[in-house]
Structure 1
Amino acid sequence: MVPRWALDALADVYDPCCREKGISVVDMGLVRTVSEDAGNVRVELLLTSGWCPFAARVLTDVHDSIARQPGVNAVEVEIVWDEPWTTDRLSPAARRQLRFLPDPAAVEDRDAYLASKGLKP
């Protein structure tokens, strides 16, 4: 679960791969949980890949953004590996921007498929 204040704080934090598209770590679905106890905050993140070359940057940016929030005394940001990131975690806006499509062989009528998703061919 992620509290609204944390979602708002992280809305301007980007994985460098998605910054130019304006897709935040929230929209990417990288934030798994944020818990707070007496000003001590713990953030669990998923990565799109275990080979992400920007993981350290994302961790630092998430830490710094949460640390700037009122009432936060300490922040721990951890990458968790017990759950894989999948495209199911993308927000609808991120999905539209990234235009994840199925294997072309699995779609009989490409234009009809795109139209059903609200996308333009």
Structure 2
Amino acid sequence: MPDIPQWASDALSGVYDPCCREKGISVVEMGLVRSVEVDDGRARVELLLTSGWCPFAARVLTEVRERIEEQPGVREAEVEVVWDEVWTVDRLSPRAARVLRFLPAPAQVPDKESYIREELR
């Protein structure tokens, strides 16, 4: 899973992808932060996007950079979107998965009626 120091996770827990802001799901809970490293006051943050077509990517990158640069021991931050890994729902925190309630693939639900009855309880 992600290589994120606790201080960075705490700092980024108030940064939201605009699509999930109203649900209170941060970029950390979405699993968009792949890594945060600091070397001699220079931070490097790697982010994944849920979609390459995200119209809010620039805003999220700017906010992540600003939050990281506010942290003690960080003079500057570089935020980069990485494309060598695809974001999947497996990266969601348990709370984010519950809030977003992604449905399983149809092949994973052999008895649709039982699944629906169970979920409606």
Indicate whether the TM-score tops 0.5: yes
In the alignment of these two chains, the number of paired residues is 119
Q: Which consecutive unaligned segments of at least 5 residues does structure 1 have?
A: none
Cα separation, 2, equivalents of 1:43 and 1:115: 43
- State the distance in 1 between where 2:116 and 2:99 align: 13
From 73, 81, 95, the equivalent of 2:75 is: 73
Q: Which amino acid aligns with 1:10?
A: L
Q: Percent identity?
A: 66
| Rounded Cα–Cα distance in structure 2 between residues aligned with 1:67 and 1:114 | 46
User: Could you say which residue in structure 2 is the equivalent of 1:61?
Assistant: 63
Taking the TM superposition and a 5 Å limit, the aligned residue runs for 1:1-40 are 1-40=3-42
Q: TM-score, normalised by structure 1?
A: 0.89
Question: Could you tell me how far 1:109 is from its partner in structure 2?
Answer: 3.6
Q: After TM superposition, give the deviation of residue 103 of structure 1 in Å.
A: 3.4
**Shift in Å, 1:104:** 4.2
What stretches of structure 1 move > 2 A for 4+ residues in a row? 103-106, 108-116
Residue 89 of structure 2: aligned partner: 87
